[in-house]
Amino acid sequence: MKRFVLKGTIIYCKSKEELAAVDGGYAVCEDGICRGVFETLPERYQSFTLKDYGSCLIIPGMTDLHVHAPQYTVCGYAMDLELMDWLNAYIFPEEAKYHDLSYAKTSYQVFVQDLVHSPTTRLCAFGTLHTEGTLELMRQLEEAGFTGYVGKVSMDRNSPNTLRETDGAEALKGWLSQCNFKHIRPILTPRFIPACSDRLMAEIGELQAQTHLPLQSHLSENPIEIAFVKELCPDADFYGDAYDRFGTFGTNGSTIMAHCVYSDEAEIARMKENNVYVAHCAESNFNLSSGIAPVRRFLDAGLHMGLGTDIGAGTSVSMFRSVKEAIIASKMYWRLIDSRQKPLQFSEAFYLATRGGGSFFGKAGSFEDGFDFDAVVIDDRKIRTPLPKDPVNRLERVIYADDCRTVIDKYIQGRQVICG
């Protein structure tokens, strides 16, 4: 099915402020590319296969811009520590288990199966240090129909011996040579400054300069972490500058930095200059007591931004939850930190989850002509109300209910994934 039309109640973002909603609309897919949404199906598309979803909602696919697939095994456990202690007590010991390929296989199966039933169509995921395990994750995601980036994690200090490489650059090259997937592509993934020696970070910077591969890492998440980075890199002007000195802060290729809870004006300015993406992970920042990221300031500064579940500090693969928590976090930022920073409107948070994160892939996250055809079909009849059914209110309700059971079908670059 390469040319088809979906019929339903279609909602998508035209801009951060503008949601388009078409009851009984037609979304046209031609060879994986969206040809737009129409109230009446144009003559030229009437020969396409029509899939009528009745009164279901059809929204663009959501991009999870920051997710640690191997941590899905521990998510929802032991949320009593802050970042650095939590990594040492729970996360590093868990990730070390992924040297065992059969453990990786079983664990990633659960993650990928649950992801299928979520509104996520694209993702930027961390694997672990292990080449074989990470390739296994990529294979499973590819087979399930997803599009995305997956990174073998690079780390060589301040972690247990079981999670420390002696030649991280060599390991990276070995992994890259085996990344032969169509829709799941590799992304450079230095864990974060505390876990990467200067040598390793410099090698990754060089590799990115040669290959122009994208890169993902963490930035300014927690005060203790930030103090540690200052200690490790006393010459850096700020956390982001510690990356930038190695060329791993957007100058050599597209780059995502997760969290940015404590990014100040200088860091924000550098991110803008270097086109760095923010992956805003509100639930994770709540659960690890990190704080709240200044998303309104990021928007005002014109930064690229999307949302991440940040499994396993986030506790669900559901991007519905990420949208809800992003709104809540922005309200608390306004109330408790800075009343000049207006909370996110629903349309803005929905934008971040679809078009905001999707733009990391080029044209993704909307139904405008020329965008990749990523769609999520939602049957919200289980969420009952006697109220009149305004499309946007229906969508808002699904998202606040955080109910992935409503997701019945997905399309990723036109490839159908059955969820219901």
Q: Which residues bind a copy of itself (CB under 8 A)?
A: 73-80, 103, 106-107, 110, 283, 286-287, 289-292, 315-316, 324, 327-328, 331-332, 334-337, 343, 345-346, 383-387, 393, 396-402, 405
What is the nearest approach in angstroms of a copy of itself to the Cβ of residue 54? Answer: 21
What residues have CB less than 8 Å from 43, skipping those under 6 apart? Answer: none
Q: How far, CA to CA in Å, does 260 sit from each of 24, 103, 222, 294?
A: 40, 32, 9, 8
Measured CA to CA, the distance from residue 81 to residue 277 in angstroms comes to: 27
When the beta carbons of 290 and 366 are compared against a copy of itself, the nearer one is: 290
Instruction: Please name the residue that has the structure tokens 């590319």.
Output: 33
When the beta carbons of 174 and 420 are compared against a copy of itself, the nearer one is: 420
When the beta carbons of 81 and 236 are compared against a copy of itself, the nearer one is: 81
What is the nearest approach in angstroms of a copy of itself to the Cβ of residue 80? Answer: 6
What is the nearest approach in angstroms of a copy of itself to the Cβ of residue 309? Answer: 12
When the beta carbons of 233 and 399 are compared against a copy of itself, the nearer one is: 399
Measured CA to CA, the distance from residue 321 to residue 315 in angstroms comes to: 9
The one-letter amino acid at 319:
M
Measured CA to CA, the distance from residue 402 to residue 420 in angstroms comes to: 16
When the beta carbons of 202 and 401 are compared against a copy of itself, the nearer one is: 401
Nearest to 239 by CA among 193, 301, 190, 288: 193
Nearest to 27 by CA among 354, 363, 355, 375: 375
What is the nearest approach in angstroms of a copy of itself to the Cβ of residue 68? Answer: 15
Nearest to 91 by CA among 67, 71, 106: 71
Measured CA to CA, the distance from residue 45 to residue 342 in angstroms comes to: 43
What residues have CB less than 8 Å from 90, skipping those under 6 apart? Answer: 74, 77, 78, 81
Assigned token pair, 64? 């999870």
Strands 407-412 and 415-418: antiparallel
What is the nearest approach in angstroms of a copy of itself to the Cβ of residue 337? Answer: 6
When the beta carbons of 77 and 101 are compared against a copy of itself, the nearer one is: 77
What is the nearest approach in angstroms of a copy of itself to the Cβ of residue 40? Answer: 30
Measured CA to CA, the distance from residue 148 to residue 168 in angstroms comes to: 23
CB 65 within 8 A of CB 306: yes
What is the nearest approach in angstroms of a copy of itself to the Cβ of residue 127? Answer: 16
When the beta carbons of 156 and 283 are compared against a copy of itself, the nearer one is: 283
Strand order in the sheet with 62-68: 62-68, 120-126, 147-151, 184-186
What is the nearest approach in angstroms of a copy of itself to the Cβ of residue 203? Answer: 34
When the beta carbons of 5 and 319 are compared against a copy of itself, the nearer one is: 319
